[in-house]
Amino acid sequence: MTESPVADLSREAAEAELARLARALARHDALYYQGDAPEISDADYDALRRRHADIEARFPELVKPDSPSQRVGAGISEAFAEVRHGVPMLSLDNAFSDDEVRDFAARIARFLKLPGEELIAFVAEPKIDGLSASLLYVDGVLEVGATRGDGRTGEDVTANLRTLGEARIPSRLKGSGWPARVEVRGEVYAPTDAFTAFNAAAEAEGRRSYANPRNFAAGSRRQKNPAIPAGRPLNFFAYAWGEPAEGFSETQAGALEKLAEWGFPTNPRSVRVEGAEGLLQVYRALEADRATLGYDIDGVVYKVDRLDLQARLGFVARSPRWAIAHKFPAQQATTVLEGIDIQVGRTGSLTPVARLAPVTVGGVVVRNATLHNEDEIARKDVRIGDTVVLQRAGDVIPQIVAVVPERRPADALPFAFPTHCPACGSEAVREEGEARRRCTGGLICPAQIVERLKHFVGRKAFDIEGLGEKQLVAFHERGWIREPADIFRLARDKEQLTALRAEDGYGETSVANLVAGIEARRTIALERLIFALGIREIGEQTSLLLAREFETWDSFDAAGREAAAGLPSAAWTALANAPGG
Ligand code: IVH
C-alpha cells in the first residue's frame, strides 16, 4: 500500500489513519511484549510510530488519551503478579542520523541557555538489545524484581531474576552508602555464545529454538517455572535507577560507578564524552565492534552526564529530554520468499534454504537465509510467495524470523518437504528424536561426496593451497576426484595435469602451485587428519583431544578398529570416559 504524505492528509483522512496505525501498533506491541515473536522488523515498527507521531504533530487536536504516543510499551500479561514501579520506566526517543544527534545536542544547549561554545558532557552507553528489569532494594536487600510492563506496572519476576546469580543480580547490595530504597534498572540479555549453544542443542533435541537473543531472553525471563531460566545463561547490565528520584550521585558516570560498587555488572564500553562530535565518535567505534562484543546491541544511548541538568531538562511525553537512543541501521528487513532449496550436508542432513528477492540488511545484500528444518517451516507457517521478516545478527547466517500474514498472496504455496534426496534420489529419512531428515545415499550421493571433500580440504583440515571449493567441484565433475586419496594421485598424474593446461587453461605456474600445495600437505598434524575425516560429532576440539591421546595415526586407527570389533583398547575406554569424550 502506498501511503499519502502526511502533509496531504485531510483531517478526516488523518483521523482514520491514526486509528489504523494505533490498531497496528497495539497488535505489534502485543506480539513483541507478550508473544515474544515480532512479525515486523524494528525499522518497519519505528516507521509506523514515526508516521503516527507526524500525523499527531500536524493535528494535535486528534491526540487521544489512549493514543500510542501516550503509552509506553505494551500491557502486561496475566500470569505474574503486578508490581507498581516507584518511578515509571520510560522509553527513549530515537535518532537515526548524525544530524539528528547534532539536533539533540543543540536542543539541549538551547533549553539550558548555555553559551554556544560550551560543550555539554554526556555518557554514551551501548544500547543493549535485551529486556529491561527493575530491582527494588530496601535497606540493601532485594525485595522485588519486575519487568517494565506498560511502564507504570510490570510483572513480578523476582524468582527468575534471582537465577541470574549473585554476580549479576545480588540478593544483598555490596559496599555501603546505598539509599534506603533504590530501584536499580538495567537490561537482562543473552550473551551471543550462550544463545547459539542453546539453540544448537535445542534444534538437535527437537526443542523450541529462538530467532534471536532478545526473544530468548524474553522467553526465559517470563518462564513461570524458575528452574527453566536457571539453565539458561542470561546476563545483566545495570545502567539506570528509578527511586530515589534525585539519584545518588551528581553525575550519570558517577552513578554507574556506584552501581558497580554495589555489585552490578556495568557496561565496560560506557564512556563520558563532550559534544555531539564526541558522541558520534563513540557511535562509530561501537558500530565497528558490534559483531565482536559478545552480546547484541541495537544502538548507543546518549545521556546528559550532570543529574542537575537532567532534572532541569525533564521529560516530554513518554521520554526524557536529556537522553536519546542513536539506533544502528536496521538489521532486519522484509522481502519475498521466492523458493526453498534443499541443501545436502556432508553427513546427508537436508537443510531448507530460503531463496529471497535480494534485500539489503545492515548494509549487506542478502539472497538466501536458513530455515533450519522442516518443523521450523511448519511452526512459522512459511509459504512460497510470502513476505517474510529477515534478520541478520552479527556474522551469523541470515534467518527468517516470521511471516507477514497481511501480505500473503492468495496463491502462496505451502512447502512439501522432500522425502527423497534432491541430489541422488535416495530416500531421506528422519529418525526418532532428530530435527533433520537425512539422505540415506551415503557415498553414492554426489552432494555428500562433494561436501565431504570440501570439509577435507577446508581451512581447519588439510588446508591445501590452490585447491578451494571451486577447483574441487570442477575436478569432481570431471571424475578426477571422488575420494580424498584422489587429490594426492592428481598431483602426480601427468595426464590429468596436461589436461588441466590444455582444456582448463591453467598456466605452467598455476599447475606448479597446485602440485606444490598438495605435496606440501602429504604430512599434516594428526588432529587435522582426524578432523578431516568428518566423523559425526568429532569436531575440532575432540580431534585435538584424540590426537593428544593417541599421538600417532597407527594407534588411533588400531584403537578404532578394536573398538569397532567390540574390543575397546585401554586408551579408547579412557577417552570415552573423559570429559567431552
Ligand atoms: S536508559 C529513561 N540505557 O532501551 C530512560 N536504556 O528505548 C531509561 N536500553 O527501555 C532507559 N540499553 O530497555 C537506557 N544503556 C541503556 C540501555 C537502555 C538498553 C533499553 C531499555 C529501555 C529502552 C529505551
Residue 375's CATH number: 2.40.50.140
124 CA to centre of ligand 1 in angstroms: 12
301 CA to centre of ligand 1 in angstroms: 7
Q: Is 327 in the pocket of ligand 1 (CB under 6 A)?
A: no
Q: Which helix (H) or strand (E) holds 516?
A: helix 508-519
| 314-to-245, 307, 311, 364 alpha-carbon distances in Å | 12, 10, 5, 39
Q: How far apart are CA 321 and CA 311, in angstroms?
A: 10
Q: Is 132 in the pocket of ligand 1 (CB under 6 A)?
A: yes
Whether 387 and 467 map to the same domain: the answer is no
Q: Is 280 in the pocket of ligand 1 (CB under 6 A)?
A: no
91 CA to centre of ligand 1 in angstroms: 7
The sign of the dihedral angle between the CA atoms of 325, 330, 334, 337 is: negative
Whether 553 and 468 map to the same domain: the answer is yes
- Over the range 517-538, which residues count as b (16 or more CB within 10 Å of their CB) and which as e? bbeebeeeebbbbbbbebeeee
Q: What is the pLDDT of residue 581?
A: 45
**Look-up: residue for cell 517470563?**
222
User: Which of these three, 327, 357, 382, is where a domain ends?
Assistant: 327
Q: Which of 64, 113, 127, 327 is catalytic?
A: 127
Q: What is the pLDDT of residue 468?
A: 83
- Over the range 285-308, which residues count as b (16 or more CB within 10 Å of their CB) and which as e? ebeeebeebebbbbbbbbbbbbbe
Say if strands 323-327 and 94-95 run parallel, antiparallel, or are unpaired.
Answer: parallel
Whether 247 and 362 map to the same domain: the answer is no
Whether 174 and 315 map to the same domain: the answer is yes
Whether 17 and 121 map to the same domain: the answer is no
Q: Is 125 in the pocket of ligand 1 (CB under 6 A)?
A: yes
Residue 363 per-residue DSSP state: T
Q: Is 101 in the pocket of ligand 1 (CB under 6 A)?
A: no
Whether 46 and 154 map to the same domain: the answer is no
Site to substitute for ligand 1 among 150, 152, 241, 301, most atoms within 8 A of C-beta: 301
364 with 356: CB under 8 angstroms? no
264 CA to centre of ligand 1 in angstroms: 16
323 CA to centre of ligand 1 in angstroms: 9
Q: What is the pLDDT of residue 313?
A: 96
Q: Which atom of ligand 1 is nearest to the CA of 267?
A: 15
496 with 490: CB under 8 angstroms? yes
Residue 120's CATH number: 3.30.470.30
387 with 447: CB under 8 angstroms? no
Q: Is 259 in the pocket of ligand 1 (CB under 6 A)?
A: no
Does residue 462 lie in a domain region? yes
Q: Is 320 in the pocket of ligand 1 (CB under 6 A)?
A: yes
Does residue 361 lie in a domain region? yes
Does residue 334 lie in a domain region? no
Q: Is 313 in the pocket of ligand 1 (CB under 6 A)?
A: no
Q: One-letter amino acid identity for 213? A: P
54 CA to centre of ligand 1 in angstroms: 23
**Closest residue by CA, ligand 1 atom 11:** 91
Is position 303 annotated as part of the catalytic site? no
pTM for the full predicted model: 0.56
Q: Which residues contact 100 (CB under 8 A, 6 or more apart)?
A: 324, 326
**Closest residue by CA, ligand 1 atom 16:** 127
- Over the range 70-99, which residues count as b (16 or more CB within 10 Å of their CB) and which as e? ebbbbebeeebeebebeeebbebbbbbeee
Does residue 372 lie in a domain region? yes
Q: What is the pLDDT of residue 1?
A: 47
Mean pLDDT by 10 residues, the chain (581 residues): 78 89 79 60 74 84 74 50 92 93 95 85 96 96 93 90 92 95 96 84 71 77 64 89 93 98 98 97 95 91 97 90 91 91 93 91 80 90 95 73 92 94 95 89 91 89 86 88 92 88 85 90 91 84 85 86 77 62 45
Q: What is the pLDDT of residue 338?
A: 96
Whether 449 and 539 map to the same domain: the answer is yes
Site to substitute for ligand 1 among 235, 239, 272, most atoms within 8 A of C-beta: 239
387 CA to centre of ligand 1 in angstroms: 31
181 with 138: CB under 8 angstroms? yes
Q: Is 255 in the pocket of ligand 1 (CB under 6 A)?
A: no
Q: Is 77 in the pocket of ligand 1 (CB under 6 A)?
A: no
Q: How far apart are CA 393 and CA 396, in angstroms?
A: 6
Structural domain that includes position 480 = 438-577
541 with 551: CB under 8 angstroms? no
Q: What is the pLDDT of residue 32?
A: 62
| 454-to-425, 459, 534 alpha-carbon distances in Å | 21, 10, 10
Q: Which residues contact 112 (CB under 8 A, 6 or more apart)?
A: 120, 309, 312, 313
Does residue 479 lie in a domain region? yes
Of the candidates 240, 434, 251, the residue with the CA atom closest to the CA atom of residue 347: 434
Q: Is 256 in the pocket of ligand 1 (CB under 6 A)?
A: no
| 423-to-120, 134, 430, 438, 516 alpha-carbon distances in Å | 64, 54, 17, 12, 33
Q: Which atom of ligand 1 is nearest to the CA of 94?
A: 7
Of the candidates 449, 433, 431, the residue with the CA atom closest to the CA atom of residue 441: 449
204 CA to centre of ligand 1 in angstroms: 35
300 CA to centre of ligand 1 in angstroms: 9
Q: One-letter amino acid identity for 52? A: H
Q: Is 91 in the pocket of ligand 1 (CB under 6 A)?
A: yes
Whether 490 and 404 map to the same domain: the answer is no
Site to substitute for ligand 1 among 33, 71, 91, most atoms within 8 A of C-beta: 91
Site to substitute for ligand 1 among 91, 92, 129, most atoms within 8 A of C-beta: 92
Does residue 477 lie in a domain region? yes
Whether 400 and 447 map to the same domain: the answer is no
**Closest residue by CA, ligand 1 atom 23:** 91
Q: In total, how many domains does the chain have?
A: 4
Q: Is 324 in the pocket of ligand 1 (CB under 6 A)?
A: no
Whether 242 and 109 map to the same domain: the answer is yes
384 with 355: CB under 8 angstroms? no
User: Which of these three, 268, 295, 327, is where a domain ends?
Assistant: 327
Does residue 190 lie in a domain region? yes
Q: In this structure, how many other beta carbons lie within 10 angstroms of the beta carbon of residue 26? A: 15
Q: How far apart are CA 279 and CA 100, in angstroms?
A: 12
